[in-house]
Amino acid sequence: MTLSNKTAAIEQQPSLDEGDAAQSDAPATEFGDKPLKLQFNDLVDDVRKLAEAEIEYYRVKLSVNMAATKTMLVLFSIAVISGITTMVALILGILLILSYYWGPVAATGLLTGGTLLLTTVLMNMAINRARKLPLDENDP
């Protein structure tokens, strides 16, 4: 066979792209009838659609949770402010009661000392519990 005959034979053969187009036009009756390249492309498209659906799902879920979280934080803030105000009123009430019996200086000293003692005890309890927390999953 001469070089020109070989060149003519090569030019007459269908290219891979034409063969893929001819195969993709034919309806596939079974999964195995599709070429591997088309099956892989379908798989990639399915994974991309699944990822987009998951992202959209979590985006909606986050927006709903953010609205609920904002409401919860507003209610929590109001509760903290109300609790602090109540504690101040309680301390002033105790101070007024004690100042009637012991005088203003002794009542202030007693109330301040008692509050500092309570704060110190609670802070030590919190520090001890914080030290017992496992910081790493591998720690005993």
> Does residue 49 fall inside a structural domain?
yes
Predicted confidence band of residue 140 (pLDDT cuts 50, 70, 90): low
> Does residue 17 fall inside a structural domain?
no
b/e per residue 27-66 (b: at least 16 CB within 10 A)? eeeeeeebeeeeeeeeeeeeeeeeeeeeeeeeeeeeeeee
Which structural domain range is residue 34 located in? 25-132
Q: For residues 85 and 68, which has the higher predicted lDDT (pLDDT)?
A: 85
> Does residue 31 fall inside a structural domain?
yes
> Does residue 116 fall inside a structural domain?
yes
> Does residue 100 fall inside a structural domain?
yes
**CB-count exposure of residue 128 (10 Å: 0-12, 13-18, 19+):** exposed
pLDDT at 26 over 80: no
> Does residue 4 fall inside a structural domain?
no
pTM: 0.45
CB 111 within 8 A of CB 95: yes
Residues 69-116: pLDDT tens digits?
Answer: 888 999 999 999 999 999 999 999 999 999 999 999 999 999 899 989
Q: What pLDDT, on a 0 to 100 scale, did the predictor assign at position 62?
A: 85
Length of the chain: 140
Count the domains in the chain.
Answer: 1
Task: Kindly state the percentage of the chain with pLDDT values over 90.
Answer: 48
CA distances from 83 to 50, 76, 116 (A): 48, 10, 18
Nearest to 87 by CA among 63, 119, 130, 121: 119
Predicted confidence band of residue 126 (pLDDT cuts 50, 70, 90): very high
